[in-house]
Amino acid sequence: MHMEQKADCSPTRTEMKVRMKDLSLLLLMCAAVSNALPVHPEKDNKEDDSKLVQDYLNKFYAVEPDPDQLGWKINAESTAEKLQKMQQFFGLKVTGKPDTETLEMMKKPRCGVPDVGLYGVTLPGWKKKNLTYRIVNYTPDMSKEDVDKAIQKAFKVWSTVTPLVFTRIHEGIADIMIAFGTKVHGRCPRYFDGPLGVLAHAFPPGNGFGGDVHFDEDEDWTTGSAGFNLFLVAAHEFGHALGLSHSNDQRALMFPNYAYISPSEFPLSPDDISGIQSIYGSPPNAPGKRPANPTPPKTCGSQVSFDAVTTLRREIIFLKGR
């Protein structure tokens, strides 16, 4: 009697190797995915916030004006002390801790000049009234004509309220050299950080980099409200190039954080004007600068007569028709 043999469904040795290889590959993939995902997202967020705080304070609150040199020097304040100074400057609750409000303020696009000194401690200004400027290169975001107009208009903001005169030159070394660059650019001791963050920086009046203004080419420069308005940022940076520090008045052009306003509006606040005029004075023939000559009083004339004259409490009284 013929018996059918049962089919042998057990895997062969080769099949076992293939399955083990597939299993090993699957385990490796699972391990890679698990490693890619943060195990403690809150811990990672805290580390990011800590880095943001340290970078921000190192850029804007780790230096102070150096009275012996035209520039800055490192101060020795603790992180909590620098945070308190930053919070006080921006009108935040002074806690010395990186709370949510403080972190949000640190994330806003701004100028790269440190937040030290107010208008009471202005930097030395230029010792002359006629200043030259040169546009070294251009951003591809705007036409050259639009860049030229934005720069010229930004200088006019300051010449309107001072006796300063700005003249453009096309070659050679100008008092104020204007350039666009990214990250580490040229020999500049300061650097940019990519999109957002620091938009531009400037140097106070002086030799070398003194008066120079640099714009971050990684930003989107425009003539309107989209991206960053070149005219507004340039007007702010030119304030530094003329010797102004940052203002803690949020209405001031010299407030460190970027805020868009219509270019048709005059961007200077009373705080900006008093600051720049404390260095350079008012423009010539400014309205109200010289009082008008007083109008002489009308005389009585030789035909006037009185019926009587008397005195009362040391006053002379003239009587007529009584």
Tokens describing residue 178: 């204007």
91 is known to lie in a ligand binding site: no
48 is known to lie in a ligand binding site: no
DSSP state, residue 134: E
246 is known to lie in a ligand binding site: yes
Express the helix, strand and coil content of the chain in percent, nearest 5 each: 30, 15, 50
55 is known to lie in a ligand binding site: no
Sequence-distant (6+) residues with CB within 8 A of 206 are: 70, 124
40 is known to lie in a ligand binding site: no
The strand order across the sheet containing 213-216 reads 110-111, 198-202, 213-216, 176-181, 130-135, 165-168
170 is known to lie in a ligand binding site: no
249 is known to lie in a ligand binding site: no
214 is known to lie in a ligand binding site: yes
Burial of 157 (0-12, 13-18, 19+ CB in 10 A): buried
148 is known to lie in a ligand binding site: no
Q: What is the dihedral angle through the alpha carbons of 224, 229, 235, 240, rounded to the nearest 10 degrees?
A: 170
99 is known to lie in a ligand binding site: no
220 is known to lie in a ligand binding site: no
141 is known to lie in a ligand binding site: yes
The whole-angstrom separation of Cα 230 and Cα 214 is 12
Active site residue 265: no
> 4, 237, 265, 315: which is the annotated catalytic residue?
237
For 138-168, give the DSSP string.
Answer: --TTS-HHHHHHHHHHHHHHHHTSSS-EEEE
111 is known to lie in a ligand binding site: yes
The whole-angstrom separation of Cα 117 and Cα 56 is 17
193 is known to lie in a ligand binding site: yes
Per the CB < 8 A criterion, the answer to whether 133 and 153 are in contact is no
Residues in the annotated binding site: 111, 141, 175, 185, 193-194, 201, 210, 212, 214, 216, 219, 236, 240, 246, 254, 307
- Which residues are known to be catalytic? 237
Residues in the annotated binding site for Ca(2+): 141, 175, 193-194, 210, 212, 216, 219, 307
Residues in the annotated binding site for Zn(2+): 111, 185, 201, 214, 236, 240, 246, 254
